[in-house]
C-alpha cells in the first residue's frame, strides 16, 4: 500500500491524500506537479526514474488505511540526478 506522503520533497508544499498535484516515482519519492515540471523535468532526483501522478485513495479507505504524516524534505535541494 502506498504511504501517501504529505508533502513535496523539493518545496515542502502540502500534498494531502486527495491532491491531484502529487507525483511519485516507483520508490514513492513525492513531489508536487510544479516542481516535477519546472525543476525536475519529470525525473526523480533520488533514483533517476520517471514521476507519475499519485493515485488518490478514496476517503472511506483512509479511515482504516491513513496517509503518512512523516514529512520528507531534501535538505541539499532539488535538482535532477545526472544520467
Using 50, 70 and 90 to split pLDDT, how confident is the model at 24?
A: very high
The answer to whether the beta carbons of residues 22 and 13 sit under 8 Å apart is no
Tell me if the pTM is above 0.95. Answer: no
User: Which residue from 83, 81, 78, 82 is spatially nearest to 32, judged by alpha carbons?
Assistant: 78
Q: Tell which wins on pLDDT, 75 or 66.
A: 66
- For residue 51, CA distances in Å to 6, 31, 58, 59 come to 16, 8, 21, 24
Which H or E run contains 53? strand 52-53
Is the pLDDT at 80 greater than 70? The verdict is no
The answer to whether the beta carbons of residues 55 and 46 sit under 8 Å apart is no
Amino acid at each position: 500500500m502506498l504511504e501517501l506522503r504529505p508533502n513535496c520533497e523539493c518545496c515542502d508544499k502540502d500534498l494531502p491524500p486527495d491532491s491531484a498535484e502529487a507525483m511519485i516515482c516507483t520508490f514513492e519519492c513525492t513531489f508536487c506537479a510544479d516542481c516535477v515540471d519546472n525543476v525536475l523535468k519529470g525525473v526523480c532526483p533520488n533514483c533517476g526514474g520517471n514521476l507519475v501522478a499519485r493515485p488518490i485513495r478514496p476517503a472511506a479507505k483512509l479511515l482504516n488505511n491513513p496517509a503518512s504524516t512523516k514529512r520528507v524534505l531534501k535538505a541539499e535541494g532539488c535538482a535532477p540526478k545526472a544520467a
